[in-house]
Structure 1
Amino acid sequence: MGYKLSIENFNSALKELSKEYKIYAPKVLEGKGRFSDTDMVRYGEISTVEEIEFNKKSQFSYKEVLLPISQTLFFFTENEMKEADMEEKAPLIVLRSCDINSLRRIDDIYLRNGFEDPFYKKIREKAKFILIGCENSFENCFCVNMGTNKTEEYDMYLKVNGKEVVLDVKDTGLNKVVSKFENTSLEVTPDFVIENEVKVNIPENLSQDVMKSKMWDEYSERCIACGRCNFVCPTCTCFTMQDIFYKENEKSGERRRVWASCQVDGYTDMAGGHSFRNDKGQRMRFKALHKVYDYKKKWGYHMCVGCGRCDDICPEYISFSNCINKLEKAMDEVK
């Protein structure tokens, strides 16, 4: 159902929704940038539409709402274990098409990969998603070539047009709230990017033979194994487990899961001191082929959604889109 509301009325709708939901959106965090006196666009809780940053790409993805950077799973003592309480309010998340497409990838890993993760499932089942459109492509985006520039999988579409807010509401519960503030319906079509400046080409003949290419040597020299590319990626889902023991009672504590990165030292450490992919070029090879080769073999579509955040964040200016575009030449090399 399409609606057109004044900003004031939409903010009233958000206030009504906040009784049931915690509303998250990309917002400007002043002074929180990576360099002195710079800002950062990152997901945070909002209460008005004016707080939402529509014109800049968020530097981190929405995934930290569904998959917290550090999440306590349960508490334990000598005699018992108690599962951590969940946030009572459901998350209502404002995000772009590429991120909504990435949600399908996270669901694959946590819900359809031979088991269901109960901690993720509890949050995921309650979550609702508000799409914001992209009238123009952002720097380093290549969502069009990855087929993630469009989506129909949203509960509500939101666009601010001057002093008015245009909505397309699909979810019954959200529609019940919004319709209190506006009963006039209209046709609403989301804005989707149809062209990116950055283009990528994944070769049709891509195979595991590309692992033998010398193209990976470049990344052994350039990558510093900081893991930022994984942490900002909306489809990276790896975590490690930590048991925290309390000083007051060393036999009690909590178990947390914490984000992990296949690019950092220690990721492949095993009992007995064994470790794999110590070379940073091998780690880049593993990540790249997982994103555009292995995943598609199992699920039928690529893991990467072309958001370009990895290119944005890399302190060594390593471009993942350039890496993808080198694969064709690399396949010619190993034939």
Structure 2
Amino acid sequence: MSITRFVTSDGLPGLLAFLSQNGRRVLVPVEKPANKRSVVFEAWKQGQPFTLEKATVPPKAAVLPQCETLLTYKKSKDPENPERVSISLEDGIRAQPTVVFACRPCDARGFAVLDRPYLEGPFADPYYKARRDQLTVFTLTCASGCNTCFCHWVGGGPTSLEGSDVLMTEVEGGYVLQAVTPGGEELLAATDLPDGAERFPQAEEARKAAWASLEPAPNIKDAPQKLAALFSNAEFWQEQTDRCLSCGACTYFCPTCYCFSITDEGEGLSEKGGRRLRSWDNCMSSLFTREASGHNPRALKAFRMRNRVSHKFSTYPENWGAFSCSGCGRCISNCPVCLDIRAIVLAALNASQATAE
């Protein structure tokens, strides 16, 4: 068994204080009371209240910020030949050591989904890689499932280890911490927390109870082929997306969506110069695929939803061997018209089967 430690509930602030040493940024779930209450990840400071609830917004921004500066540039004219312009670039990559604390297994698996295209493709993204190399993930296992979660449909579960460095499980009086990776072992070994081996059987019982609370998962292993077969069936996609508003909430709340746009801001010849930004974008937006000519290959929301669902359950699995959806359910709970991606996948399976018959 890997290294385990035990921390009492009132000892969590002390653990956070330890984790924040040596310049580490510790992101914790924080409650934001407003017209609509939410829980978001913020950098922890001594004395700051936090919660261990499932966050409304996943911690994806720890490795893929909502907006980041890729480079800055400045242009200068040759005084003797004004038509000759030179340009200087500054593209320094900076990454702060970061701990994501008390995210859920579906969020940790989200990091694993992002790793494949950003790190394992033909070219590794240096900005993403710098932050990912500096990231440590403390994951809190779920005590039970909820009506919008479906992590066990897509290869995960309430106690999944994938993407985590340390797995936390609530037991009587506190939490058992289990190291999952060498980085997690090194960090736990450096704490002064007591060994958690004696309490580990309690953690195992809690994990079994979490799995027992889940409704049986349907078999969706054929989803990639079934969705691919329906790709040209415009009637099917129109029917599934009649209620969709194309607001994009499903993508912005998703721990695995990674579409972005690149924009230049400022003027290179000005005193401040210019900068190139990478910002989150979403495939449900009608502007996402509109070309400079004005042509839009996905002018209809049905085709945009087709792209989103097919990517998660068909083309990504074809390329990487796993679904890109982690089953967190945020796209369901945050959809203003209650569109359910599970229903779309199941409808695709049934429609394909009916066609085959």
Normalising by structure 1, report the TM-score.
Answer: 0.88
Is 2:295 the counterpart of 1:274?
A: yes
One-letter amino acid matched to 2:32: L
Segment of structure 1 superposing worse, 309-318 or 3-12: 3-12
CA–CA distance in 2 between the matches of 1:209 and 1:165? 47
Deviates more, 1:134-143 or 1:185-194: 185-194
2:251 maps to 1:230: yes
**Identity score, percent:** 24
Other-structure match for 1:182: 194
Q: Alignment length, in residue pairs? A: 328
Distance 1:277 1:152, change over 3 A: same
Amino acid at match of 1:271: A
- C-alpha change, 1:22 and 1:251, in structure 2 (3 Å) is closer
Aligned: 1:284 with 2:305 = yes
Matched, 1:24 2:27: yes
SS in 2 for 1:323: helix
Q: Does the alignment pair 1:155 with 2:165?
A: yes
Query: 1:1-335 maps to which residues of 2 (within 5 A)?
Result: 1-20=3-22, 21-31=24-34, 36=35, 38-47=36-45, 51-54=49-52, 56-78=53-75, 79-84=87-92, 86-149=94-157, 150-153=159-162, 154-161=164-171, 163-170=173-180, 171-178=184-191, 180-182=192-194, 185-186=197-198, 188=200, 189=203, 191-192=206-207, 193-194=210-211, 195-197=213-215, 199-202=217-220, 204=222, 206-213=226-233, 214-245=235-266, 249=270, 252-335=273-356
CA–CA separation in structure 1 for the residues paired with 2:47 and 2:114: 27
Larger Cα-atom Rg: 2
For each residue in 1:32-64, what CA deviation from the matched residue of structure 2 results, as whole angstroms up to 9, or x when unmatched?
xxxx2x31012222347994433x432211111
**Contact map agreement 2:6 2:193 (CA 8 A) in 1:** no
Partners of 1:2 and 1:186 within 8 A in 2: no
Whether the 8 Å CA contact 1:169–1:175 is kept in 2: the answer is: yes
| CA shift for structure 1 position 82 | 1.0
Q: Is the Cα–Cα contact under 8 Å of residues 153 and 220 in structure 2 kept in the other structure?
A: no
Structure 1 residues 254-293: Cα deviation after superposition (integer angstroms, max 9, x where no partner): 1110001110011112232221111111111111111111
Please state how far the C-alpha of 1:317 moved relative to its aligned partner.
Answer: 1.2
**Secondary structure of 2:236 counterpart:** helix
Distance in 1, matches of 2:172 and 2:226, equals: 47
The separation in 1 between residues aligned to 2:273 and 2:88, in whole angstroms, is: 9
The DSSP-based 3-state class of the residue aligned with 1:158 is strand
Classify 1:251/1:313 alpha carbon distance in 2 versus 1 (closer, same or farther; 3 Å). same
Distance 2:250 2:291 in 1: 23
Whole-angstrom distance in 1 between the partners of 2:217 and 2:160: 20
Shift of 1:84: 4.7
The residue type equivalent to 2:168 in the other structure is: L
Q: Gapped runs of 5+ residues in structure 1?
A: none
Cα pair distance change 1:200/1:71, threshold 3 Å: farther
Cα 1:113/1:30, change in 2 over 3 Å: same
Contact persistence 1:210–1:334 (CA under 8 A): no
CA separation in 1, counterparts of 2:217 and 2:342? Answer: 8
Matched-pair contact (CA < 8 Å) for 1:160–1:166:
yes
**Counterpart Cα distance in 2 of 1:183 and 1:291:** 40
TM-score (norm 2): 0.83
Shift of 1:137: 0.6
Kindly report the root-mean-square deviation, in angstroms, between the aligned alpha carbons of the 2 structures. Answer: 2.6
The AA in structure 2 aligned to 1:45 is: A
Q: Match of 2:277, SS?
A: strand
Secondary structure (helix, strand or coil) at the match of 1:151 reads coil
Task: Please name the residue that 2:79 is paired with.
Answer: none
Measured in 2, the distance between the counterparts of 1:280 and 1:268 equals: 12
